[in-house]
Structure 1
């Protein structure tokens, strides 16, 4: 059966990625939508990119750009880095790339350059790493970097008074534009959860794999989901982004 499956932030956790592929019994008939942040955190960022590139040769894959992916691209392609990036997972990525040859680095640069800022499917379901701010939607966004840096969309959905009817002027316009919005970027562990969380039309699939949470894959139509073991258990001798 053809499924559309969405995957949360991976952050260098290849072992978790293998686990969710096995547990969801992913086949080449499935379409895989990755929400970004493939790197920075655990020690296998280059191997995660190799896995994704190989996977895209075997089945339909959609790769969304995350902020950490953009930071890695700037480092690989422009030798641009910063202390803040190092402190938020970049250090493990730099160390991992010390063992990667130049041909593979070029392959990864090409992959990172070609990531999509968002994907809107035929059912008006939006897939984006972080969010958007323009009240008319993604096509009108003045600041495209917010597609992978914004947190206000999730904060708005999280803080929404559920007693406000959808047709009210008070209901946030951004939450009326799309049937569903799938995001990562802000882990639900911040609200002490480790499963996908829906608020209004927004589904947050980042279940904290960068820290002590699991990696998640979710069937968009049935909402069934599968998870890896917590990443700190899979990489027990590493700190991730903790």
Structure 2
């Protein structure tokens, strides 16, 4: 039976991603929904994009845009960069693209351009990198940068009283538009966790691949979780975003 996986932030950890997909025992019928941040972190940033392009020829893939993907795309298109980006993983992407041809870079530009800000499936599940702020739902969002930068959706989920349920007067309206919401962007290691975390109807699948954590995937129907080894163990001579 075909499965659907939500996969958390990668940050250029291609070797760990390959291991994760092996542990999933991926079949051509499986759907993969990547939650963003494919680059900036480990030295395989550009190679990760190449791999994902090829992977999408074999499997149904959805590529949600992350904030690091947006920054890398702007640099590829017009050379735009800033010091904060370079300090938070951007330098690894600059280094990774040095040996790429213009033809290869153009394929990557197309990949970045065709990403989606969010994906809403037929079972009323939302997949987005960071979140959304509009009470009426993501289709009413004023600024698209919120989809891949804003952390308030996750912060809100962490603060909700456990006795509150959908339909209660105080239950956040933003959460009532969907059965489930899958996000990345904010590593669950910040709250002392190492596997995907469920709060309210949100699943956070970012397990800190850019730092000392693994890349994680969750099968959205069964909630079975798969993880790579910690990404940094594949790149022992690198610092990642530490």
Q: TM-score range by the shorter chain?
A: over 0.9
**CA distance in 1 between partners of 2:117 and 2:185 (Å):** 13
The 5 Å alignment of 1:26-65 reads: 26-65=26-65
Normalised by the length of structure 1, the TM-score is 0.98
User: 5+ residue gaps in structure 1?
Assistant: none
The equivalent of 2:133 in structure 1 is: 133
Q: Structure 2: give runs of 5+ residues left out of the alignment.
A: none
3-state SS, counterpart of residue 149 of structure 2: coil
Residues of 2 paired with 1:230 and 1:88: CA distance?
A: 19
**Matched residue of 2:218: which SS?**
strand
Secondary structure in 2 aligned to 1:167? coil
Q: Secondary structure at the match of 2:32?
A: strand
* Cα displacement string for residues 162-202 of structure 1 (whole angstroms, at most 9, x for unaligned residues): 12343222111111111000000001010111100000000
Cα offset, 1:234, TM superposition = 1.3
2:205 — aligned with what?
205
Question: What's the CA shift for 1:217?
Answer: 1.2
Deviations 1:31-75 (A, max 9, x none): 110001000000001110001000111121111000000000000
Give 1:91 shift.
Answer: 0.7
- Whether 2:180 is the aligned partner of 1:180: answer yes
Q: Distance in 2 between matches of 1:51 and 1:113?
A: 17
Structure 1 position 132, deviation (Å): 0.2
CA distance in structure 1 between the partners assigned to 2:168 and 2:221 by the alignment: 28
Measure how far apart 1:3 and its partner are.
0.4
Structure 2 CA distance for aligned equivalents of residues 163 and 59 of structure 1: 40
Matches within 5 A, 1:230-241: 230-241=230-241
Corresponding residue number in structure 2 for 1:78: 78
What's the CA shift for 1:233? 1.2
Shift of the alpha carbon at 1:101? 1.2
How big is the shift at 1:145?
A: 1.0
CA RMSD of aligned residues (A): 0.8
Q: Aligned partners of 1:125 and 1:199: how far apart in 2?
A: 15
Matches of 2:59 and 2:232, distance apart in 1: 30
Distance 1:122 1:14 in 2: 30
Q: Following the alignment from structure 1 to structure 2, what is the Cα–Cα distance between the partners of residues 69 and 41?
A: 12
Structure 1 Cα separation of the partners of residues 91 and 192 of structure 2? 26
Aligned residue for 1:144, secondary structure, equals coil
Give TM-score scaled by structure 2 length.
0.98
Size of the aligned set, in residue pairs, is: 242
Cα displacement (A) at 1:26? 0.6
